[in-house]
Amino acid sequence: MPIEVEKLKKLVEEKKKKRPTIEAPAKVGELEEKPEEIERVAVERIVERLRRKEAPEEVEVEARLAAIRPSVGEAAVKRKLDFSKVRFDVRASRAVLLAGSIYNTFSRPIGAFASWLGNFPLAGTLQSDLESAAIKLTVEQFLIVSVVASAGLGAMIALLTWLLAGDVIIIPALGIWSGVVIALLLGAVVFVLSGVGMLFWPSMQATTRANRINKVLPFALRQLSTQVRAGTGLHKSIRSIAHAGYGPLSEEFQRVLDEMERGASTEEALQNMSRRTRSTGLKKALSQMVRAMATGGNLSDIISSIADDISFELTMRVRDFTEKLNLVGVVYIMVSVVAPVVVAILSAVTQIPVFGGGINFSVVAITYIAMLMFLVLILVFTKRIEPE
């Protein structure tokens, strides 16, 4: 502080000796006459300088966020669909190429219905669902393929309805056109419902892919941990997993290698993999790996512990499934074995003249059909609760 005061005094004396043509500010004269004022200004300057040097990081971060908020807000707005620039890759499957050729012929009606599908709330997550399901189509391409497939299904249902039920269902007001009208209405309903239902398909595929990843994840993590502990580089270890035949998991690691070859860092490629996968276990493993690489932790031990945790969770799920399966087995035996025998005995007993008649055959047939449908529901329920 005394050094700053001395500098200010020297500055005032030099300006006074030089007698500049421009008058010095009034504050300089005041400072010359009042040394305590000079000292106060010096202290304020020093404090301001310290504030600029020791500003907390939160202030700087907040300033950066304020600068980029407008662009982030614009990016957060839902992307508008543009079907005018849709092109289908020649390396795509034949079904996709066929849908593309049909779209090129009937681009206007197909594009209109595809835009209508794109306004559904489910279409907002189509991009992430397609990435998670490893479907190499853009949102516009998928909507076009969905419309073409739905139109084909609706036309097939309409044709079958006209051929099979056109002469059976007659509406007096329509006469001979009854079959055509009913076929067209049913085809239109199937077309709309199947088009909307196609929006669920990427999410279902992503979930199925995540379940397949969860099945092999503990084995892949243990292999990765063993190779890293043996001194193999992480890049080579990832490449070995990509070629180890772990199904969708190997495909995901191959995508990581492709991103790294295009210039992305290992952390960025792993974070992108975590963003697009639906497997919670894989997300946990990737986040721990990225954190270990950033902090310099023991990567092999971390991967091994994650593999043990996932294996324990799978073991607990299998145990819970076994307990539920005991009850399901009892219900299945009752419906498949005991119930038909009871119905048959009751049907035979009621035929005795003492009881004054018997059970109608239609009632027995409906009962057996109901039991068969219930058995199918039991099998579907068992498959749904089966652990990954």
- Which amino acid would we find at residue 7? K
Q: Are 103 and 86 in contact (CB under 8 A)?
A: yes
Q: Residue 226: which of 251, 247, 244 has the closest Cα?
A: 244
Q: Are 282 and 246 in contact (CB under 8 A)?
A: no
Q: Are 335 and 253 in contact (CB under 8 A)?
A: no
Rounded Cα distance between 252 and 134, Å, is: 9
Taking only the tens of pLDDT, the chain with its 388 residues reads: 455 556 656 665 665 555 444 444 444 444 444 556 666 666 666 656 655 554 444 444 444 434 434 333 333 335 677 777 778 776 777 888 888 888 888 888 888 888 888 888 878 888 888 888 888 888 888 999 999 999 999 999 888 877 776 555 555 555 556 667 778 888 899 999 998 889 999 988 898 898 889 888 888 888 888 888 888 888 888 899 988 888 899 999 999 999 988 888 888 888 889 888 888 888 888 888 888 888 877 888 888 888 888 888 888 888 888 888 888 888 888 888 888 888 877 777 776 665 555 666 677 778 888 888 888 888 888 887 777 6
Q: Are 378 and 328 in contact (CB under 8 A)?
A: yes
Place of tokens 């990427």: 202
Q: Is the dihedral of CA 364, 366, 369, 371 positive or negative?
A: negative
pLDDT score of 126: 86
- Which amino acid would we find at residue 119? N
Helix count and strand count (H, E) for the chain: 17, 0
pLDDT score of 150: 92
Q: Report pLDDT digits (tens) over 311-354.
A: 888 888 888 888 888 888 888 888 888 888 888 777 777 766 65
What's the predicted TM-score (pTM) here? 0.61
- Which amino acid would we find at residue 178? S
Rounded Cα distance between 263 and 345, Å, is: 75
**Helical (H) or strand (E) element with 381:** helix 361-385
Cβ neighbour number for residue 35 with a 10 Å cutoff: 12
Angle between helices 361-385 and 339-349 (to 10 degrees): 170
